[in-house]
Structure 1
Amino acid sequence: MRRTEPEGHGPVRYGPPLPDDGLPVLPELSAVLAAAAGRAGSEPVGGGAALLDAACGYWERRGLATGPEHVVAAPGAPALLLALTAALGGDVLVPRPCAAWWAPYARLLGRPVFHVATPAECGGVPDPYALLETVRRVRAEGGDPRLLVLSLADDPTATVAPPELLHETVEAATDEGLHLVSDETWRDTLHAPHDTVLLSPAEMLHDRVTVVTDLAGALLPPGWPAAVARFPVGATGDGLHARVLDVLTALDARVAGPVAAAATYALGEPEPLGAHVAAAVLLHARVAGAAHHAVVAAGALAPPPQAGRHLYVDLGPLRSGLAAHDVGDAQELEDFLAARLRMPAPGGHRFGDDLGALRVRLSTSPLLGRTDAERAECLGSPAPLELPHVKRALIHLKSVLDDLRDDAQRREPPR
């Protein structure tokens, strides 16, 4: 298959966006934004008092006592990670694979990025022994690792790290003097919240963890950029908070006034928004489960999705079938599946995975329909998988994967 580089699709300019929910905006949330549309100014750098207080309440409801002097708001998590990376200095460690937007900000600042293997059962959190080995190797080669970025509910793998693994990794990071940035963007999208234990590293390590949450994960539409960061209490956190504010000031990274009003409302988690988020999470969990079943039935591999609006698919077992279509690496697989599925299918190399590994992230929102009316119908349906447009989308996904399985079986040598 001929490798293509369509406009905006190159290795530098193309970064797959966060998987959005594809659903209409909650009317109450739109009303808050509309009521604030007359605000001509932006928030102060770092966020205004109402927004910071709402963020404190959000974290306190999750067991993290927080004061407004330890919170910063910005127009999206990328601005916060850029500021944190600049403020902390040194080399950056991330899991393999990791969210596509993590590494570019370190590279933009000229900071080396080192990927650390994750355990077989989940993504988002490095294997503690691999972390220790990587840190010591980097230092032996003259590097200066200072920052570890991880995620509990993970993009791209859609898995949730078990507390025991997280504890071991946090201990290893502490022993090596690393500062942790915990990306908790997807923590409110757990598919089985009553059966999944999710602990923040900030609950385990109080003085060396900064929590970052992009509200596009569950609370706001992605086109309304807002994110918040919670800094640790103490001298380390105070100094980092001040340096991050300096960077955000230099960037003039302010949350727009109307968006800040919507973010303040969303972080308060009023009943209409809570019900909307719960319904959206349940919908995407059902669709992700059906998509996962189609993937596994075709002979491909994917961890069962536990959070988010996506799944991470390994088509390595179907390599021989893909070879019939001249697909031999993740970029070629991305192009091939995007054309066949008629939906984005970013390859694993976008997330720091090996180019030669045949992995892609598939989002569930394209399976909900092509119009606002179809997607809204999904949200209100007690049986969304039975809706005609959802059934067609899932059948098409299954058909494409089954064809690859059949191609692979035809190319297997006779026994």
Structure 2
Amino acid sequence: MRRTVTEGHGPVRYGPPLPDDGLPPPPELTEVLARAAGRAAADPVGGAPALLDAARGYWDRRGLPTGPGRVAAAPGAPPLLLALTAALGGDVLVPRPCAAWWAPYARLLGRPVFHVPTPAESGGVPDPYALLETVRRVRAEGGDPRLLVLSVADDPTGTVAPPELLHETVEAAAGAGLHLAADETWRDTLHGPHATVLLSPAEMLPERVTVVTDLAGALLPPGWPAAVARFPAGAAGDALHARVLDVLTALGARVTAPVTAAAAYALAEPAPVTAHRAAAVRLHARVAAAAHAVVTGAGALSRPPRAGRHLYADLSPLREALAAWGVGDAQELEDFLTGRLGVPVPGGHRFGDDLATPRVRLSTGPLLGASEERRAACLTAPDPLELPEPQRALNDLKTVFDDLRDAQRWEPHR
């Protein structure tokens, strides 16, 4: 019997974190953190004024004017989503697949989570018709859907939802009376910023959208946890902001003073930070494109990555070859590829996909090298794919997928 729960592979304790870029932060950012290391006083729950002002400026520059009292900060996006879910109440809807950390926080609160299919062209944003049908079905069964979590620039698929799809989904959500939490962690990591149009749901439905941005996406290392949330204007937004602060207070969710200093500096987007971010995005875009070519060249299915540091692969066309290796589901595929490649390759079940479907998320960070020095060299190399470590990692990836492709060709069809 195929397992559905694997010992040692729990969905929360072993869930994959945000993909790490594997790169050292710019020295200017490290100096800001170091200068603040002696600050002993605790910052207030919800964020210090300097951090909140920097977040407001960050959103102002992106066409999302943000007034005082409409921002909160926390040590990472998970506490913000947990607080938002607790403040809103009701059931939660998420796309399938979705970021691995979204659903566990709703379940921790005892809230049902319903997955909604995404269209063929992108992940992160549910199909509007499927969304309406899911809301109808949940309410008919006595449920109370109130919150839709989505991401225009998506983890795990690495895709960016087109504006027309986003508009239709936002309209459907508004008609269904849902509040939207827009995870915009990856909005500043577009691989082709001049070829990809990214719009925020908050531009389309400002009175019903809370934006959450984890700074580990593009501005800070993941070991310096900080995230910011932007709340709607008006009385309803003020009340939601106040309830979220209550929950953060109960959790003791404070950003540490040194990280506050680094986060405020990064959100102001000085030249050293923006230059480092641009170089990191170019590097990961190059590696993601090369990995995508390997995966699809072997016959697997994968949408072209457009943002972030990851891509999502469906190995269903290689099922017969996988079966020869004893791989029949996403957990077994995770174990197989992690063992063969020597880097974490989480299965699609971590992201809400069907365990029976052999899908995985591949991240580009582990392909850059084993040491910080070698990864840093990738950032400045004229052609990082010619460096020994990325070249070796991509060759290993190609060997594994080519072996599967060749085995599939010779495996007799049943």
Shorter-chain TM-score bucket reads over 0.9
Paired residue for 2:261?
A: 261
The answer (yes or no) to whether the contact 1:148–1:178 under 8 Å persists in 2 is yes
Residue 30 of structure 2 aligns with which residue? 30
2:144 matched to which residue of 1? 144
Name the SS of the counterpart of 2:362 in structure 1.
strand
Distance 2:249 2:397 in 1: 46
2:216 aligns to what SS in structure 1?
Answer: helix
User: Aligned equivalents of 2:194 and 2:233: distance in 1?
Assistant: 30
TM superposition shift of 1:12: 3.6
Give me the whole-angstrom Cα distance separating, in 2, the residues matched to 1:239 and 1:130.
30
Is 2:39 aligned against 1:39? yes
- 1:188 partner SS: coil
- Equivalent in the alignment of 1:383: 383
TM-score (norm 1): 0.98
Equivalent pair of 1:321/1:411 in contact (CA under 8 Å): yes
CA separation in 2, counterparts of 1:76 and 1:182? 15
Tell me the residue number matched to 1:81: 81
CA apart distance, 1:42: 2.4
Q: Which AA in structure 2 matches 1:366? A: P
Match of 1:347 in 2: 347
Hey, what's the Cα distance between the residues in 2 that align with 1:373 and 1:122?
Answer: 35
Q: Do the aligned residues in 2 keep the contact of 1:341 with 1:396 (CA within 8 Å)? A: yes
Off by >3 Å, runs of 4+ in structure 1: 1-7
Partner Cα separation in structure 2 for residue 131 and residue 6 of structure 1: 34
**1-side partners of 2:370 and 2:12: how far apart?**
29
Q: Shift in Å at residue 275 of structure 1?
A: 0.2
The corresponding residue for 2:194 is 194
1:304 equivalent in structure 2: 304
Letter in 1 for 2:380: G
1:342 and 1:5 mapped to 2: Cα distance? 20
Question: Deviations 1:243-299 (Å, cap 9, x if unpaired)?
Answer: 000000111100000000000000000001100000000000000000000001111
The answer on 1:211 being equivalent to 2:190 is no
> Partner of 1:412 in structure 2?
412
1:130 maps to what in 2?
Answer: 130
Distance in 2 separating the partners of 1:244 and 1:377:
42
Aligned residue number for residue 336 of structure 2: 336
Give the 5 Å matches for 1:152-231: 152-231=152-231
- Residues 143-195 of structure 1: per-residue CA shift (max 9 Å, x gap): 00000000000000000000000000000000010000000000000000011
SS at 1:239 equivalent: helix
Q: Percent identity?
A: 77
Amino acid in structure 2 at the alignment position of 1:383: D
Give the letter aligned to residue 141 of structure 1: E
Counterparts of 2:125 and 2:369, CA distance in 1: 33
TM-superposed CA distance for 1:412, in Å, is: 3.1
Corresponding position of 2:52? 52
| Aligned partners of 1:23 and 1:372 also within 8 Å | yes
Spell out the pairing of 1:274-293 with structure 2 (5 A cutoff): 274-293=274-293
Q: State the secondary structure of the residue aligned to 1:68.
A: coil
Please state whether the residue corresponding to 2:24 is helix, strand or coil: coil
Deviations 1:47-101 (A, max 9, x none): 0110000000000000000023100000000000000000000000000000000
Amino acid of the structure 2 residue aligned with 1:20: D
* Matched-pair contact (CA < 8 Å) for 1:41–1:256: no
Which moved further from structure 2: 229-238 or 382-391?
382-391
Cα RMSD of the aligned pairs, angstroms, is 1.3
Partners in 2 of 1:408 and 1:384 — Cα distance? Answer: 32
Deviation at 1:6, TM superposition (A): 6.8
How far does residue 40 in structure 1 lie from its aligned partner after superposition? 1.2
Q: Distance in 1 between matches of 2:367 and 2:377?
A: 13
Query: What letter corresponds to residue 110 of structure 1 in structure 2?
Result: G
State whether residues 46 and 72 of structure 1, in contact with CA within 8 Å, keep that contact through their aligned partners in structure 2: yes
Distance (whole Å) between structure 1 residues aligned to residue 99 and residue 312 of structure 2: 12
Residue type of the alignment partner of 2:254: R
Describe the SS at the equivalent of 1:187: coil
| Per-residue deviation, 1:5 | 5.1
* 2:388 counterpart letter in structure 1: P
Moved more, 11-20 or 393-402: 11-20
TM-score under structure 2 length normalisation: 0.98
Aligned to 2:247: 247
Task: Tell me the alpha carbon deviations over residues 351-398 of structure 1, each in whole angstroms, 9 at most, x when there is no partner.
Answer: 000001100000001110111111011001111111122111111100
Distance in 1, Cα, partners of 2:413 & 2:314? 22
How far 1:344 moved relative to its partner? 0.4
Compute the displacement of 1:2 (Å): 10
Residues 1:393 and 2:393 aligned together: yes
The 3-state SS of whatever aligns with 1:279 is: helix
SS at 1:43's partner residue?
Answer: coil
Counterpart of 1:105? 105
Aligned equivalents of 1:385, 1:290: Cα separation in 2: 9
Asked whether the equivalents of residues 189 and 281 of structure 1 are also in contact (C-alpha less than 8 Å), the reply is yes
Q: What's the CA shift for 1:413? A: 3.3
Q: Which residue pairs with 1:365 in the alignment?
A: 365
Cα distance in structure 2, aligned partners of 1:76 and 1:366: 22
Which consecutive residues of structure 2, in runs of 5 or more, have no partner in the other structure? Answer: none
Report the secondary structure of 2:361's partner residue.
strand
Unaligned runs of 5+ in 1: none
CA deviation digits over 1:100-156, x for unaligned, max 9? 000000000000000000000000000000000000000000000000000000000
